Amino acid sequence: MATCVCWFHLDLRLTDHPALDAAVASGDAVIPLYILDDDAAGKWQPGGASRWWLHHSLASLAADLEALGSRLVLARGQAEEIIPRIMAASGATTLHTHTRHEPWSRDQLGRVSSALEGRARINTYTGTLLKSPGQVLSKTGNRMRVFTPFKRNLLAGEPPRPALPRPSRIPAPAAWPEGDSLDALDLLPSSKSGQQDWATGMAAHWQVGEAAAHSAFDRFLDGTIDHYDTSRDLPSEIGTSRLSPHLHFGEISPVSIYHRVMERGLTNSGAEVFLSEIIWREFSHELLDQFPFMPDAPLRNEFSRFPWRDDYADDLAAWQAGRTGFPLVDAGMRELYSTGWMHNRVRMITASFLTKHLLIPWQEGERWFWDTLVDADLASNSAGWQWVAGCGADASPYFRVFNPITQGDKFSAHDYVRRWVPEIAGRDDRGLFSPRDDGAGLFAASEDGTYPLPLVDHPTGRERALSAFQRIKSA
């Protein structure tokens, strides 16, 4: 029997996996392969929280493969060296894999293609998005940079391909190539590495893997989706799908999600808004494909002249630690550090506070989220930060400054703040979100007397931000 290799990336599932489906359909024995290539990813290699999730997702995928009589071969190093070696040792002549859309991954695939030239064939498939970047075009055939028409044209065009079934068996090769153990990938923090094991508490908040992803989606479809349009803005409620890390690691495909939502029917605004969020992910990848520099530089060129502060080290550290003196901001940052996730409404508030109240460059926040989010996606993370900072495509206007005091009341975040900022849990609802503005205030309500003074008062921070924006408008 001939042999082929199925190269996994951020597609750690068996259901609706076009590359695996084609590999099995070929009749060849299949070697499932995952490579941790940190050199290729460079500074965008998985951050600490993502590495924790990746470890457990790979363990789940390996167990699922073993149940079908297969196994997951793991390797750490440069893909252009590992793949030719494994294919030569196994006699494989075909590599099946999904197209990836990060700039570094395209370069990586180019090097693999060069290394295999004349020796093996590479078959690529669309498996991580509904549509590949460049497929959704305007009426004039141009690529798009505004979300609403992008969404409209995606929905009006050909629907995504049908979701593929999970294979019932995967033919195994006569001999398995040597690989590394999961522990050898060194994805978990360790005392030896000197890393702080801040990921320890994440296990209490997440179930990882394909089965967990589909269970979470089932629960969401059972009722939450019907009021998602309003519940998604309420941090104190379980009103979101919490599918973002499962989607990022490909434990569930956007195609599967799309078809199940459409089969259920867009019978209410909750389902429509949820589908918009799935398409926002598509739009972010469209932007990244058009602008490979998006994770590093503003899409709006005038923001390259923005007068960010350069004396912000202490304020950045306070923001990262959830000690800004603004309870809603601090609750979000503590939730992030404890769970690897933050409620979407609070993500916008904390990002606005960093870039506008504190005048700290958005790239600093992007990097912190990259290291601490379990759903840190290069396209969505960079597009989201540029949206809040006002410098991206179709971005929120810079002069929109989220008020971290009124937002708490508006979106009923009282229980949320009391959970994550317990030192002020005894404060009454009326003053829970207000920073201390006198000699008592939050300090008196804090059980241990250690809640910090606000880094800046809201009116001063807002006016400073608008003044900075005016400088680049008039330049």
For residue 32, the SS3 value is: strand
Q: Is 168 exposed, middle or buried (0-12, 13-18, 19+ CB in 10 A)?
A: exposed
For this structure, is 362 an active site residue?
Answer: yes
Q: Which amino acid is at 442?
A: L
Whole-angstrom distance, CA of residue 205 vs CA of residue 341 = 10
Q: Is 102 a catalytic residue?
A: no
3-state helix, strand, coil in the chain (%, to 5): 50, 5, 45
Question: Catalytic residue among 153, 176, 272, 308, which?
Answer: 308
Q: Which of 44, 52, 341, 362 is catalytic?
A: 362
Known catalytic residue at 341:
no
- Name the token pair of 15: 């259901």
Q: Is 344 a catalytic residue?
A: yes
Name beta bridge partners: 74. Answer: 34, 180
Cβ(71)–Cβ(62) under 8 Å?
A: yes
Question: Largest alpha-carbon pair distance within the chain?
Answer: 80
Structure-token match 């390797």, residue found: 75
From the candidates 385, 387, 403, 420, give the one annotated as an active-site residue.
385
Residue 319 among the catalytic residues: no
> What is the C-alpha separation between 433 and 329, in angstroms, rounded?
9
| Cβ 323 vs Cβ 350: under 8 Å | no
| Active-site residue flag, 198 | no
| Continuous segment of H or E residues that includes residue 88 | helix 79-90
Instruction: Provide the β-strand partners of residue 3.
Output: 29
Catalytic residues: 277, 280, 308, 344, 362, 385
